[in-house]
Structure 1
Amino acid sequence: MNAVPKMETPQAGARRLFARDIAEGFAPVALHCYADADGQPLFYRPRLKHPDGRKVIKPMRLDGLRYAMGEPPAPKEGKPLYRLPELLADTAAPVWIVEGESCADALAKAGNVATTSGGASSADGMDWTPLRGRSVILWPDHDGPGAEYADKVAGRLRALGCDVRRIDVAALNLPDGGDVVDWLAANPGGDLDTLPMLAAPAVRVEGFAPEPLRRPVPPPEPYPLAELGPVLQPAAESLRRVIQAPDAVCGASVLAAASLAAQALADVEIDGRTVPLSLWMLTVAESGERKSAVDAEAMRAARDHEKALAKSHEVELEAHAAELAEWEARCTDAKTKAKKSQGAGLARALQDIGPAPPAPLLPRVTVADFTAEGLAKLLAAGWPTVGAFTDEAALVFGGHGMTKETVTRTAGTLCKLWDSGTLDRVRAMDGATKLHGRRMALHLLAQPVIAERALSDDVLSGQGFLARCLLAWPQSTAGTRPYKAESLRHDAALGRMAHRLGELHREPLPLAEGERQELQPRPLHLSAKAKAAWVQLHDAVEAGMTPGGQFATVKPWASKTPEQVLRIAGVLSLLESTGAQEIDAATIGRAAELALWHLNEAARLAGTAELSPEVRDAEALLGWCHDTGRTLLYSRDALRLGPGRIRERETFTRAMGELERAGWAEPVEGGAVLDGRHRRHVWRIAPAPEGG
């Protein structure tokens, strides 16, 4: 009869895993258990100590029937606090927070509720929410890392509504690095209630009247979904209703997807000028605004088309391999015959055979991360119509193509592609590449920090890359999105849009004679009334660019708006009729409403990205103070622990100057005692506004 395998005990696991350390003289002194709220062990941290003072503290977890080094994967909310069941068993008692499990155990042995996240660098990965609203006392080790640990934990706990106090360890006569265990050993039976606490000086907190650090940005107007027409409007409304993303995210996403489907089929022609139908969008939204969910639905037809192309490509590759083998055999045969006649007739024979059969086009319709060089290679070897679509614009703005060294040529290359469908690249390694008749639609969904960085880039603005983008920065819908028990899988409006865009994707490409990749889209003309309406809009926008005019601050975007109207109108026309030859006045009117909304967005946001470095630094410093609960700030505190961008004294001084001028900071005359010492340069910080 087979013996039933036994589960290894934690003690046996520790002896086995730390056998080498034990052989080197380390002695096991404790086995700390981290458990869940129900008391079930999650992992252990054995503690070993050497006679020379060295320590070994490493986690181990149960892996099957034996223990293995390391912790189990942390829950989404963070790792559990040490002694969590004890914390939850007495929610009325104050909680002592210390560094290290031994310190927590020592306080618990004395009858206190105590916990820790581990060592001085462990605060970030923990779940502190079990302490929400409780009274806590911080007792850090007597050293620099201990002070930083206490600062970090205090900020997190204040954000959870905790009443936070802190032991003045400098007044305990502890050695450098001294901790709770050291104090208890030196003061057996000592009264914890008499321990000195750090206290902020009595400085008034009323009387602040801060002004905004930047020009207040007015709220956006509602996105004109009704102007998207009978195909796109219902689909965008379904996305808004179920996913509950901002209306501009939904509207811009479906319009960009439609541009990708239509851009290869026609161009708008007006007075001898050709205007492609490619649209570029830059939509800004915070993380959590469900950009990805909207993009996935809007791009359903494009991705289905790409899958179909990939399947066809497999068949085409097999056929190409056979054709190539036949061509190579014919060339070999011709060379063999010519060899017998000392090469006579070889050139003519090879000419009759012709060039090698071209490889099938790469089945790529969409890209997310791209450079100008990569795009040139894709358009040279793949389909002549592509879309650059990503819900993480950081992949583009932070990628190789947008580095300080490459951003100029990337922006210049992309602008030519938008203007005329031409891509011109010259590289020492790859030679010259000049491609005509190409189209690229683009939709970059960006978080605010990425968008601000891009909008403040002189090259991207100066070369016109951003001016070719239709901007949208809608208000957040977070907090107003009750759960919707509704699936979009069979939504009729989205199904109709996907079907219609799929039809456009599958239309035969209009190619130049003798070419297999150079597009030659048919012309779309404006009716007489449509042209008159467009000219009127053109002149009105032009007048708005005069000094003091409505669009004077956004001339780059305004100068492109009349062309954007033509592009949008062309896309909307093809959506309603694949064979459309003319754009009517009603469609121009709808396109104008959409383009003007995006232009007004640019005007609304003007100046947002033009903040001085001092103001940006001041915003970062103020945000850090609010996030960490600091109502009093001294310079050394900010230089050691504050945001990385202000950790130089000159930068910090300029940022504080901005905060003082705006009324967010006020010097404390004579300084104050903070963190156990008198600080000469202290400011009191205005609290964040309600809901801010």
Structure 2
Amino acid sequence: MNTQNRLSVKDLLSFEFIQALFNHLMASDRQFKGLNFNLKAHFRGVHAYTDKDGHLLYFKPRFAKDGNKWIKPMYHDNSGFHVGEPKARFIDGKKPLYNLPLLDKNTMPKPAKVYFVEGEKCADALTNFGITATTSGASTSLKTTDLTPLMGCHVVLWRDYDDVGDKWQTELSQRLHEMGVSVDVIDVDTLAKEYHASTSQIMPKGFDVFDYIEILRQQGNDDRHIIDKILGLPRLDAQAYHAKSAGVNNNDDLTSIHASTTAKSTTTSTGDNAKDSEKWGELIPFDEVKNVETPFPLDAFPKDLAHVIERTAYYGQVPLSMASFGVLGAISHIGQGFIDAPYLSQGYNPSSLYLMVQGESGSGKTQTIKITHKAINDHEKQSYQDFMENKISYENEMAGKTKKEMTAFKNQNHLPKDPRAMFGSGSIQKIMQGFTDGNYLNASYTIDEGANLLEGASLKSETAGASIGALCDIYSHGKAERITISNGNAQAAYDVRLTLFLSAQEVALKPALNDIKLNNQGLLPRCLFAFPPDNRGIRQLIKDSPEHDPTLQTYWKKCHNFLSLPELGAKRKKMAWQAPALAIAEKFWQAVEVSQTKGGINEHYKAYASRMVENATRIATLFAWFKGSRAIDEADILGAIKIVEYSMAERRRYSEIVTDITDAERLLQWLIKNAYKPSNHGVGRFFYSSLQQALPKDLRAVQVLDNALETLSDGNYVCLVDMPSYRRTKRVIELNPILLTA
């Protein structure tokens, strides 16, 4: 099995890995973010699933807080973290058992005995005492797990004390029996009686292996006594267990103490609700659902840049989206001076980007720029020092000369010009003047306090219209004009470039994003957006220095090498297309066009959508250039498309131009109202195809309906299920039963 470019089990133990994983989940998993976990307080461990030789296949991080837990399968590859199981890595499509290398019968103690429990935490609790233990993970995952490594072993089943555990044990014991595997089960009902006798309390529902060991520790037992008690627990062989499950037993004593949690439920939907609590989770208020960041597509970036983003997020303790926009801002600042971007087959545009990211005071904006723009800052500093030395030398040469000599000297020696081209303050007018004065050909307005621009004189004074127009012109045409009130006889500069990287607090961004002038004159529609979650309160103190990080050192060196090259000005190279990449871009153009039609996802955002393809070609150009390619390939444009789609989703999410009730809320009201119709697939169940016919017309559009369903699913209001059928798989929307118990 190919294990190259994968994490190892050892990697899972490093703090660096855990921090990167936490940052990824905060940025990409809505349920995880909604539970407000703190890494230091709520991280419980990572469970590794490997092949028989110990090579990591996937893992399950575990977080727990106030009775809520989050544990899902994940894996990592060249493009980063992914939630889900890497089925391509499984043999015959079957998941491996947990602790699979321990099940090698050549190395197991004889006779080969394995405890099979519900969940990794319980398996670890036993293996910590040298007892071989395994699990399939969730109680519902038996059918998808390869159980054949258990053949030739004697298996002891130890279920949780609840109905789900009883069902799990019955199914598993039957499957193992059919495989010819010898099976015993821990008699949990008898254990419950002993628990009551020793504590005068009822054994809690869900009581498991881990809980049992904790009780023994609290009673003062050492490891040797705990092992003896585990090995001496009452057991039933398979035949006795199945007879007992069928009702041939005397459980009256326990029943008189407490209604047995293993009794089969006779309730209908109410009982099912209790069973399905893990499936559904708590309802998340709509305000919280609507404000969850769009999952950030780290895999959109070339591998080297993706690693830089991860390292920046780690050292800066910032979301991936903030780190990625920092990287985009840096490569735009540098790359705009060397390369122009093709717009489909219709000429060329500057490769410059306009970026806006939200970040509150102290959220890591400044640290992000320090890391991603370090090479640029170092270059600016050195260039300024050289300029000052040349200026002093020039002034010294001028001193003592006669007027005639001074004139002759000036004609032969131009006054040195300040070469700095990255600005964190000042007006748009001043930056444009630097272009027209010939101080620089390429510049960036990189600012971590965006209110200085958004609420400053440039965009608020009587020259605001001219400032906005100037920003739009230089973005689209590479032309800069000195801004005056009348703009009459203004000086101009051509073939110049400007990158805008603006980080701002919500109090500054919110009014700007709803400013008619900024929208209608086209400045905001040219921008890419990110509104990441606020990491304050969940960050960890990072004592390592980014200065010594090899990934960042390589990135800074590459940036420095580019900055050391002479500027090309009007002779910038023109990036080419590989034919398959151009076909993808053209197809994307058509898709964006359709999205702006009535009922389309971008119907109300046409100004923004109309810039999506252009921004995608600019990003793809920068990716190709930074890799050293002469043409945009498929990976470049596909990654760029992911980023502009992310930005567009963020812009829609943030907009205040919404109705008092969202599409998702209207859909939920309709589902509840129509939950009991006999045409449904059971109470509270709907076929997706039927919804498209029955819903109000403005909710039927595929993109509108899918987005509304996604919001409801994120909030645990509905569950989306694919149901196999005679002809094809049907999609079923299942309403959370708690919504039907009025």
Q: Which residue matches 2:310?
A: 237
Select 1:478's aligned residue among 536, 545, 568: 536
Aligned-pair CA distance for 1:425: 3.3
- How do residues 668-683 of structure 1 correspond to structure 2 at under 5 angstroms? none
The answer to whether 1:228 aligns with 2:312 is: no
- How do residues 83-482 of structure 1 correspond to structure 2 at under 5 angstroms? 217-270=290-343, 271-318=345-392, 320-321=394-395, 355=411, 357-379=413-435, 380-425=437-482, 427=484, 432-482=490-540
Q: Which residue matches 1:192?
A: none
Q: Which residue matches 1:628?
A: none
Q: Which residue matches 1:337?
A: none
Aligned-pair CA distance for 1:217: 2.2
SS at match of 1:286: coil
Aligned-pair CA distance for 1:431: 5.3
CA shift digits 1:559-596 (9 cap, x unpaired): 1010001111111112111xx43212221111111121
Q: What is the one-letter code of the residue matched to 2:527?
A: C
1:411–1:333 distance in 2 versus 1, CA, 3 Å? closer
Q: Which residue matches 2:611?
A: 560
1:609–1:263 distance in 2 versus 1, CA, 3 Å? farther
Q: What is the one-letter code of the residue matched to 1:235?
A: V
CA shift digits 1:172-210 (9 cap, x unpaired): xxxxxxxxxxxxxxxxxxxxxxxxxxxxxxxxxxxxxxx
In structure 1, distance between residues paired with 2:419 and 2:410: 26
CA contact (8 A) 2:580 2:633 kept: yes
In structure 2, distance between residues paired with 1:328 and 1:600: 66
CA contact (8 A) 2:463 2:483 kept: no
1:354–1:291 distance in 2 versus 1, CA, 3 Å? closer
Select 2:576's aligned residue among 503, 509, 525: 525
Aligned-pair CA distance for 1:260: 0.5
The percent identity for this pair of structures is 25
CA contact (8 A) 1:278 1:440 kept: yes
1:404–1:457 distance in 2 versus 1, CA, 3 Å? farther
What is the TM-score with the length of structure 2 in the denominator? Answer: 0.47
Q: What is the one-letter code of the residue matched to 2:381?
A: K
1:446–1:326 distance in 2 versus 1, CA, 3 Å? same
SS at match of 1:552: coil
1:497–1:586 distance in 2 versus 1, CA, 3 Å? same
1:609–1:332 distance in 2 versus 1, CA, 3 Å? same
In structure 2, distance between residues paired with 1:569 and 1:302: 21
In structure 2, distance between residues paired with 1:478 and 1:493: 26
Q: What is the one-letter code of the residue matched to 2:447?
A: T
Aligned-pair CA distance for 1:354: 9.7
CA contact (8 A) 1:265 1:522 kept: yes
Number of residue-to-residue matches in the alignment:
375
CA contact (8 A) 1:269 1:525 kept: yes
CA contact (8 A) 1:565 1:595 kept: yes
The answer to whether 1:549 aligns with 2:580 is: no
Aligned-pair CA distance for 1:447: 0.6
CA contact (8 A) 2:357 2:531 kept: yes
Aligned-pair CA distance for 1:255: 1.1
Aligned-pair CA distance for 1:222: 2.3
In structure 1, distance between residues paired with 2:292 and 2:407: 74
SS at match of 1:249: helix
In structure 2, distance between residues paired with 1:453 and 1:528: 43
Q: Which residue matches 1:498?
A: 556
SS at match of 1:378: helix
CA shift digits 1:640-676 (9 cap, x unpaired): xxxxxxxxxxxxxxxxxxxxxxxxxxxxxxxxxxxxx
1:332–1:228 distance in 2 versus 1, CA, 3 Å? closer
CA shift digits 1:457-481 (9 cap, x unpaired): 1111111111111011012222322
CA contact (8 A) 2:398 2:406 kept: no
Aligned-pair CA distance for 1:509: 0.8
1:587–1:306 distance in 2 versus 1, CA, 3 Å? same
Select 1:587's aligned residue among 613, 626, 636: 636
CA shift digits 1:152-184 (9 cap, x unpaired): xxxxxxxxxxxxxxxxxxxxxxxxxxxxxxxxx
1:328–1:444 distance in 2 versus 1, CA, 3 Å? farther
In structure 1, distance between residues paired with 2:572 and 2:545: 38
Q: Which residue matches 1:38?
A: none
Aligned-pair CA distance for 1:445: 0.5
Query: Where do 5+ consecutive residues of structure 1 fail to align?
Result: 1-210, 335-352, 512-518, 612-692
